[in-house]
Chains A and B, each alone.
Chain A
């Protein structure tokens, strides 16, 4: 893997660092990049209980088997992508160690693991009006009766393919979007959130 110190966010061209100090006392929406999320794609057969148990022992939590559900959040969790596919998140820099540990746990079983950390970036959208912002470009029913904390969905936001994950009732969302769509989606979100007041973060 490349030198982490050379990593640059695709949002670097927007110079968000200089905007953190913008006064936004009444902001009802917060938007930032979540930089420290490493991501592994995991394929495994959920019917193979021995394999599921071995993976759970390494992860410290069970893989979510119900469609569009998650376990854990942020830098440590698993998101359901398909009946035999998950996105495992881990603190940046620890991807390869976890990949190695999971590979050993899966040895002898039919499974696949790959480090996909740089395929997508994660935007963190939160605040009392965050749901209204998403509803401008996403056809999913995001009302709490249908979409809650711990739910995830692969869908479209403003025509870009995203993986949406609600992380808090506040509400707060993680939006995984392809590297090449990151600037487009950020600019779209800024525009959509402008009427509610937007506080920009430089990420953590």
Chain B
């Protein structure tokens, strides 16, 4: 089980959290103008890297606040926790 450092509550067990998938995927502004392929790319296609991934997490059973996490998908090491809305810093890919 992961221990995830909630920015408000400190380190807590993974079971208290929900994962919201990959972070920093913006909804296209003019979705009407998109082709089906572009829309499918927004909806379904994810980076799925072997390495550092930026994810959204919510401390569902604690303070119920969302935040971003940079996690290494190989070692499960959590490299950085930062607020929603803040751009991804460091790392690579995605």
Contact = CB atoms under 8 A, between A and B. Distances in A.
Q: Is A bound to B?
A: yes
Contact of A154 (B10, B13, B63): B63
B65 interface: yes
Interface string A146-161: 0000000111100001
Contact of B9 (A139, A153, A161): A153
Given A82-B64, A83-B63, A154-B63, A68 B9 contact: yes
B65 A155 contact: no
A82 B8 contact: yes
Contacts, number: 34
Interface residues of B, number: 12
A67 interface: yes
A154 B61 contact: yes
B15 interface: yes
B62 interface: yes
Interface in B40-87: 61-65
Contacts of A161: 61
Nearest to A140: B12
B38 interface: no
A81 B61 contact: no
Contacts of B16: 155-156
Contacts of B15: 156
A102 to B, nearest CB: 21
Given A82-B63, A155-B62, A67 B13 contact: no
Interface string A17-55: 000000000000000000000000000000000000000
B65 A153 contact: no
30 contacts: A67-B9, A67-B63, A68-B8, A68-B9, A81-B64, A82-B63, A82-B64, A82-B65, A83-B8, A83-B63, A83-B65, A85-B63, A139-B12, A139-B13, A140-B12, A153-B9, A153-B62, A154-B9, A154-B61, A154-B62, A154-B63, A155-B12, A155-B16, A155-B61, A155-B62, A156-B13, A156-B15, A156-B16, A156-B61, A161-B61
Given A82-B63, A140-B12, 20 more contacts: A67-B9, A67-B10, A67-B63, A68-B8, A81-B63, A82-B8, A82-B65, A85-B63, A139-B13, A153-B9, A154-B9, A154-B61, A154-B63, A155-B12, A155-B16, A155-B62, A156-B13, A156-B15, A156-B16, A156-B61
Interface of A: 67-68, 81-83, 85, 139-140, 153-156, 161
